[in-house]
Structure 1
């Protein structure tokens, strides 16, 4: 899968019950696993032991999971649950009706002691043919491969704002941009509904400030 070296192949089917057969999983989440997922395969293991890469400082290995779906949508909470259960970084490949989608979370060490990692957000491609997925093994270390996977899947969303910008900073900058866009949309809606001219002018001034902040990012 994804043109990855044969040495990384794992090809193990994982019972989906493994991820929801515990007391902490809500009935709604369990239902998402049952209704939305057909089969889960652990396809590849990318690590210094399986491919000629230097060990990473933040990423020890990357797993590639193929999830065959019963529909063309998947509850993001399902991915979060799998990410919580597996103490490694995961690249998900979703398959439905002959089309494929790559999904990956920006996964950091939790620091809370309750879980190995936390996932702030997920990035995904559009549905496409498997050979069109923009995911390639690039980099000299596991850390670099993971960063490239995230950037490849996210595309323009995580284009570096400056040379050598770290992945963490790119993610934070993108999150800030998304937040500003939401604020702008919300303020524009308020302006359209506002009847008083002086209030419209005040909000337009604020709107210009938000747009400048977005441009600066």
Structure 2
């Protein structure tokens, strides 16, 4: 569930046409919004005032937008374009039937896996809106518990590590599959050696040694 204070609740539906009217989107993307999106609702507005935060920050407002989709395999450029061309910090709750995922744009798009709506969790943590924003990014973009435990790193540093974790996991999966299929002992051994190297690099990365 979304553990947001009642004071932040907005739940205001925005007509799709009104939503993109003032955004410099291409005609193709506007058509995609019409074809792929059912409704857009501003669910919550997070501000210093309605969260009773004492300290100021460069972040003035964070909006949670819920977007109900007509199909799960939608054009993700829609969300990216909205996020990149909007002055607000945006967190997206994407909903299709009884499944949902969270998404956020921070230099690039990040999203969680699709899950049941009842299993959704997103909490607010921080003394300023900037700290809250960084923590929301972490909850959505960083899946490795080992990376989350690296408290001395900034959110940008953690995101870079998470990207590397993802890269090594793909390499390990690809190399393990190739080694299993390889018939020649010499090539199989070379692949196995590569696999052990990737696993060691991943372990060092997640232990903060890389």
Shorter chain as denominator, the TM-score bin is: 0.7 to 0.9
Q: Taking structure 2 as the reference length, what is the TM-score of the superposition?
A: 0.78
Change (3 A) 1:140 1:36: same
Q: Tell whether the 8 Å contact from 2:41 to 2:67 is kept in structure 1 after alignment.
A: yes
| Cα distance between partner residues in 2 of 1:65 and 1:23 | 19
| Cα distance between partner residues in 1 of 2:115 and 2:100 | 5
Residue of structure 2 in register with 1:114 after alignment: none
User: Is residue 148 from structure 1 mapped to residue 135 from structure 2 by the alignment?
Assistant: yes
Q: Tell whether the 8 Å contact from 2:43 to 2:64 is kept in structure 1 after alignment.
A: yes
Q: What do the CA deviations read for 1:21-44 (whole angstroms, capped 9, x no partner)?
A: 8775263x4443222211101222
| Cα distance between partner residues in 2 of 1:24 and 1:41 | 19
In structure 2, list runs of 5 or more residues that go unmatched.
206-210
- CA positional deviation for 1:151: 3.0
Q: Tell whether the 8 Å contact from 2:63 to 2:88 is kept in structure 1 after alignment.
A: yes
Residue of structure 1 in register with 2:208 after alignment: none
Q: How does 1:19-168 map to 2 (within 5 A)?
A: 19=20, 25=26, 27=28, 29-53=29-53, 54-57=55-58, 59-97=59-97, 99=98, 101-107=100-106, 118=107, 120-124=108-112, 126-129=114-117, 132-154=119-141, 156-157=143-144, 159-168=147-156
Q: Tell whether the 8 Å contact from 1:177 to 1:214 is kept in structure 2 after alignment.
A: yes
| Cα distance between partner residues in 1 of 2:168 and 2:176 | 12
> Across the two proteins, how many residue pairs are aligned to each other?
202
Q: Tell whether the 8 Å contact from 2:35 to 2:70 is kept in structure 1 after alignment.
A: yes
Change (3 A) 1:91 1:127: same
Q: Tell whether the 8 Å contact from 1:101 to 1:124 is kept in structure 2 after alignment.
A: no
Change (3 A) 1:23 1:164: closer
| Cα distance between partner residues in 2 of 1:193 and 1:133 | 39
User: Is residue 216 from structure 1 mapped to residue 204 from structure 2 by the alignment?
Assistant: yes
Change (3 A) 1:194 1:102: closer
Q: Taking structure 1 as the reference length, what is the TM-score of the superposition?
A: 0.76
| Cα distance between partner residues in 2 of 1:134 and 1:23 | 33
| Cα distance between partner residues in 1 of 2:142 and 2:184 | 42
| Cα distance between partner residues in 2 of 1:26 and 1:199 | 51
In structure 1, list runs of 5 or more residues that go unmatched.
108-117
- CA positional deviation for 1:7: 3.5
Q: What do the CA deviations read for 1:111-140 (whole angstroms, capped 9, x no partner)?
A: xxxxxxx3x23122543345x421122221
Residue of structure 2 aligned with 1:198, choices 183, 186, 210: 186
